[in-house]
Amino acid sequence: MPPTPSLAGWTVVSLRPQNRHDALRRAAAAQGARMFAASPFRLRATGDRAALDAALACPIRIVSSPEAVRFAAALRPLRGSWWAVGHGTARALRAAGATRIEIAEPQNADGLLALPSLRDLRGQAVGLVTAPDGRGLMERELPARGARLHVAHVYVREPVPLAPARLQALAALGPRAALLVSSQSAFGQFWRQLDEKTRAVWRGRPCIASSARLLQYLRQQGFRQLAQAESTHPPAMLAALAACAGTDRTRSRP
pLDDT tens digits, one per residue of 70-79: 999 999 999 9
SS3 state of residue 2:
coil
The domains of the chain, with CATH numbers, are 11-40+161-244 (3.40.50.10090), 43-157 (3.40.50.10090)
* pTM for this prediction: 0.88
Cα distance between residue 68 and residue 64, in whole Å: 6
Which residues partner with 11 through β-bridges?
34, 177
Cα distance between residue 186 and residue 196, in whole Å: 18
199-239: pLDDT as tens digits: 999 999 999 999 999 999 999 999 999 999 998 899 999 99
Residue 253 has a pLDDT of: 37
Residue 33 has a pLDDT of: 98
Alpha-carbon distances of 129 from 7, 86, 112, 172, rounded to whole Å: 36, 14, 14, 40
DSSP H or E segment with residue 50 = helix 49-56
Neighbours of 245 (CB within 10 A): 19
Put residue 120 in one of left, alpha, beta given phi > 0 → left and psi -120 to 50 → alpha: beta
Neighbours of 200 (CB within 10 A): 11
Residue 133 has a pLDDT of: 76
Phi, psi (deg, nearest 5) at residue 4: -70, 135
State the average pLDDT for the chain: 93
Phi, psi (deg, nearest 5) at residue 113: -70, -15
Cα distance between residue 83 and residue 90, in whole Å: 8
pLDDT along the chain (254 residues), means of 10: 76 97 97 98 98 98 96 98 94 96 87 94 98 88 98 97 97 97 96 97 97 95 96 94 74 36
Cα distance between residue 174 and residue 226, in whole Å: 18
Nearest to 62 by CA among 137, 144, 123: 137
DSSP state, residue 163: P
Cα distance between residue 251 and residue 56, in whole Å: 44
Answer whether 51's CB lies under 8 Å from 151's CB: yes
CB-based contacts of 21, cutoff 8 Å, min separation 6:
14, 35, 37, 39
